[in-house]
A and B are shown apart, each in its own frame.
Chain A
């Protein structure tokens, strides 16, 4: 793992361009299929988009629910795709992940997910999505740089009902946020910004 660098996601910077999806699907381990996805929160009411990348939980729910014990973390805490010899393609992990990350690759009969570009980070490069992201909604940089340059602050604790999840990947949130608990829905309507009344 590249020394001292960490992964930060800031949905408020995302412009929905899908450079991350396109770059991810160039990887030779899952050609043509991205392990990251970008969604509109609600395109009918907003231009806001958000990227979803594996958060690499300290205590990964996907591994906990795996009946075949096929999902492992490496020494850096990166949660890996299922081990092919063990995976029974049951999709428990797909259903259980609180962030909606793992994908069942039917063709390969295996769950595949983001491994934070092990092939790149193991040789000192940054993960592909965070390298290309034009808005740096995805960043792979030092904590000091994030603390020094960003307006938002990193949070890595998430509250899903009673379940608290702590992750290796950080989400950028407004200062003062301790844990991210719900989608802070963003809704815009141009008509609220217009001058339409006749003042006469």
Chain B
């Protein structure tokens, strides 16, 4: 359906309005007398830094560093410092809302829940169970993520449940699962300073995982060498010993060429490869053609730099390859990760202190949110939904027949496409703002307008929620505790620091109430997150992500536990694959050869420039939260188009000029940021904003065939100075 009111009217009522002062103001009583300091973790990003929240009068009024927590030792990025400004926020939803002809109207909880259940059931009765889909999110606690999967499969009986981690960790997860048999970082972050070489590809660590910077710098302090591969010089590049400015979408070729050099010069660890891997002969054959000169022509990285990177990485006794969305947000994201793993394992860098490869998980619970059943193809414990034994185990825990458990459904972008085709008619969504975060936002808007019923659970009215029929006023992270799993694989405890404000409800309570009203009172009888976690532990028992031995008490006493942790006496598993033993039945790593292939949106004469999108340090994901936090908003109030002076000069563009960026999907006008720190054939736009400022107006819907991740990092575009705009004197933007 169309918006129930103009975007301006909705913005005036529901924001985003940036908040600058603590609840009650700087001078307010709550600021003067703090009732308690609550040890918990930041709600923003997969680092899951320890933080203490200052609580007064059931509001979070400030923060205090938590220096004893071992991962971050008090360190925080600006998002962590300012996160508390969501408490008492003027945009906070304090009642369920229903759509009317003149905008949204507050309604009772009973009415909102009854409408939701009636409408979803009616659609299912008329069009079949799979006519309704469920979206979850990776900022939810693991308990909530578990409920999302169970609600979809048990209460709604639909196979279509997926989550916004589909835009984040699935390429890395798929590759690691296929090679190693497990989807988790193989190493704890304490290994990073122990490496002699860090190879960082497609990871803007300084802005997207700021606390990891200190780990990288400590590696450098000990004499470690830093290699950075990225089309842009991001903040960590300032101390790189070697910078590889690869062309967007050419990661696999760069990695295959490095392996080519390693094999050509006999630097591989043959004994390790033979004892602990399968498939290496095919890998070896696949890199034969990628000598450094051939790779240079594709990647734009000089042959000498490829040779040097390969030698440094392979000759080190301990090296770590680190990657994030740059490598993974591609229609060949899985293959890129496979190429990186192939190179790492050929050098024997795994299962030892200071050696390995690791993904840098992005979202708050990006790891835990994908382990326990809101992924379209997985059941709790990182079990495959097509595995009969896994289905039996989970069906037993849930008290249902195995045959009643749906099979795998569509992934997040595919669900939106099925909505657009009219196959899926109803949607229940929590913790997901696809109108900002999915590619090709004009298409996503069309799909949302076609929904016959749409219910959103959220604490602020996101741009996507503006399209809803019913909005259920949910909870902030600090209002509904549980556990999350960090980028390291460390499960940590999220405290319930405050209760939801009057009129809003805890997300877990809303999900349970929906389950009960959908006819499953005994299967959603949970009175607290602790009861959910108790069942989750059983559902995970014996699975890959085994939480059976984890308790809330242990998490608090031990400051987190690395899974797998199969029994209460088990210490947890910070480092995987020690002794070269992997998680497949044969104990070996199953290497896979890859081949180069083009992007889904190739550059052409008409669209000759690469577009790549990403993040800035002060914003989190689609900005639903951080665009409402005044100091974070002010730090980067608008998106921009970053481009090299050589490209700018070719188009008569100066710093600060308005620039139109046109792709095969749409057009955007943004201010230019002219800097020498990006490839001259590439422009960059951060994606945290909606509407006419949304980078995803330009991006395309090509998915990786295995992980179904969209190709945010490689699109084709053309740029021009916006017509009629007077040229200003160059200003140095900050």
The residues of A with any CB-CB pair to B shorter than 8 Å are 12-13, 15-19, 21-23, 25-26, 28, 31-32, 39-40, 42-49, 126, 128, 131-136, 149-151, 186-191, 193-196, 199
Is B733 among interface residues, defined by CB-CB distance under 8 A?
yes
Alpha-carbon distance A174/B504, docked complex (angstroms): 55
Q: B220-263 vs A: 1/0 string, CB under 8 Å?
A: 11110000000111111111000111000000000000000000
The answer to whether B238 touches A186, judged by C-beta atoms less than 8 angstroms apart, is: yes
- Give B646's nearest chain A residue, CB to CB: A191
- List the B residue with the shortest CB-CB distance to A31: B26
Q: Which residue of A lies closest to B636 (CB)?
A: A18
Question: A17: which of B206, B302, B676 is its contact (CB, 8 Å)?
Answer: B206
Give the interface of B toward A (CB within 8 A).
20-21, 26, 31, 62-63, 65, 67, 72, 74-78, 80-82, 206-207, 210-211, 213-214, 217-218, 220-223, 231-239, 243-245, 293, 296-297, 299-303, 305, 617-618, 631, 635, 644-646, 655, 673-680, 730, 732-734
Listed from nearest, the 5 A-B pairs whose CB atoms lie closest are A15-B206, A15-B235, A134-B210, A189-B676, A195-B296
CA distance A35 to B288 in the complex (A): 57
Among candidates A44, A131, A196, residue contacting B67 with C-beta atoms closer than 8 Å: A131
Report B512 CB to chain A, min CB distance, Å.
Answer: 36
A134 touches B75 (CB 8 A): yes
Contact B77 A188 (CB under 8 A): no
Given the contacts A132-B65, A135-B214, A22 and B680 also touching, CB distance less than 8 Å: no
Determine if A15 and B236 form an interchain contact, defined as CB atoms under 8 angstroms apart.
yes
Flag if B220 contacts A131 (CB, 8 Å). Answer: no
Contact, CB under 8 Å: B734 / A43: yes
Q: Are A19 and B210 in contact (CB under 8 A)?
A: yes
Bound complex: CA A17 to CA B205 (Å): 11
* Contacting pair B676 A191 (CB below 8 A): yes
Q: Looking at the complex, which one of A22, A39, A47 makes contact with B233 (CB distance below 8 Å)? A: A47
- A to B CB contacts below 8 Å, 23 in the list: A13-B239, A15-B235, A16-B617, A17-B210, A21-B78, A25-B631, A39-B734, A44-B730, A47-B235, A47-B237, A131-B75, A132-B76, A133-B75, A134-B214, A135-B206, A136-B214, A149-B221, A190-B644, A190-B678, A191-B679, A193-B302, A195-B296, A195-B297
Decide: A15 and B75 in contact? CB cutoff 8 A: no
Contact of A46 among B302, B631, B655, B677 (CB under 8 A): B677
Cβ distance A123 to chain B, nearest Cβ, rounded Å: 12
B-chain residues with CB within 8 Å of residue A136 when the two chains form the complex: 75, 214, 217
Contact B76–A190 (Cβ < 8 Å): no
Nearest chain B CB to A31's CB is how many angstroms away? Answer: 4
Contact in complex: B81, A22 (CB < 8 Å): yes
Taking CB atoms, residues of chain A closer than 8 Å to B77 are 17, 19, 134
Chain B residue contacts of A193, Cβ below 8 A? 243-245, 301-302, 305
Question: What residues on B are CB-neighbors of A188 within 8 Å?
Answer: 233, 237-238, 676-677
- C-alpha spacing A27/B72, complex, angstroms: 21
Most buried by A among B72, B239, B644, B678: B239
When distances are taken between beta carbons in the complex, the residues of chain A under 8 Å from B223 are: 151
- Residues in A whose Cβ lies below 8 Å from that of B677: 45-47, 188-190
B618 neighbours in A (Cβ, 8 Å): 17-18
Of chain B, the residue at the smallest CB distance from A152 is B221
Distance A128 CA – B232 CA, assembled complex (angstroms):
31
Q: How many whole Å from A166's CB to the nearest CB in chain B? A: 26
- B233 and A190 form a contact (CB under 8 A): yes
- Nearest opposing residue in chain A for B20, CB measure: A32
Distance in angstroms between the alpha carbons of A43 and B617 in the assembled complex = 16
Interface of A is mostly: loop
Cα of A15 to Cα of B204 in the assembled complex, Å:
11
Residue of B nearest to A21 (CB): B78
Interfacial chain A residues near B293, Cβ < 8 Å: 199
- Specify which chain A residues have a CB less than 8 angstroms from the CB of B218 in the assembled complex: 149
Report the nearest A residue to B293, measured CB to CB: A199
Contact in complex: B81, A26 (CB < 8 Å): yes
> How many Å lie between the Cα of A49 and that of B617 in the bound state?
14
Q: Which residues of B contact A128 (CB under 8 A)?
A: 65
CA distance A115 to B562 in the complex (A): 41
Partner of A28, one of B21, B31, B244, B678: B31
With contacts A26-B62, A32-B26, A193-B305 known, is A47 near B732, CB below 8 A? no
- In the bound complex, how far is the Cα of B732 from the Cα of A191, in angstroms? 20
* A3 CA / B508 CA spacing, docked (Å): 47
CA distance A164 to B72 in the complex (A): 37
Beyond the given pairs A15-B207, A193-B301, A196-B300, 5 more chain A to chain B contacts, judged by CB atoms under 8 angstroms and listed by A's residue number, are: A12-B239, A18-B617, A47-B677, A190-B245, A191-B679
Given A44-B655, A44-B676, A194-B245, does the pair A151, B221 have CB atoms closer than 8 Å?
yes
**Nearest B residue to A151 by beta-carbon distance?**
B221
The reply to whether B74 and A132 form a contact with Cβ atoms under 8 Å apart is yes
- How many whole Å from A7's CB to the nearest CB in chain B? 15
B21 touches A32 (CB 8 A): yes
Q: CA separation between A136 and B296, bound complex, in Å?
A: 36
Q: Are A47 and B234 interface neighbours, CB within 8 A?
A: yes
Q: How far is the CB of B485 from chain A (nearest CB, A)?
A: 21
Q: Among B220, B296, B679, B732, point to the contact of A190 (Cβ < 8 A).
A: B679
* Chain B residues near A191 (CB-CB < 8 A): 644, 646, 676, 679-680
CB pair B302–A135 under 8 Å, yes or no, is: no
Q: In the complex, A29→B350 CA distance in Å?
A: 50
Chain B residues near A45 (CB, 8 Å)? 675-677
Chain A residues with CB under 8 Å of B655's CB are: 44
B645 to chain A: closest residue by CB: A44
Judge whether B234 and A18 touch: CB under 8 Å: no
What's the least CB distance linking A128 to chain B, in Å?
8
Q: How far is the CA of A104 from the CA of B206 in the complex (A)?
A: 32
Whether the pair A43, B675 counts as a contact (CB closer than 8 A) is yes
Tell me how far the C-beta of B729 lies from the nearest C-beta in chain A, rounded to whole angstroms: 13
Residues of A within 8 A of B673 (CB): 43
Which chain B residue has the least Cβ–Cβ distance from A192? B676
Q: For residue A105, give the distance in angstroms from its CB to the closest CB of chain B.
A: 15
Q: Is A22 a contact partner of B78 (Cβ separation < 8 A)? A: yes
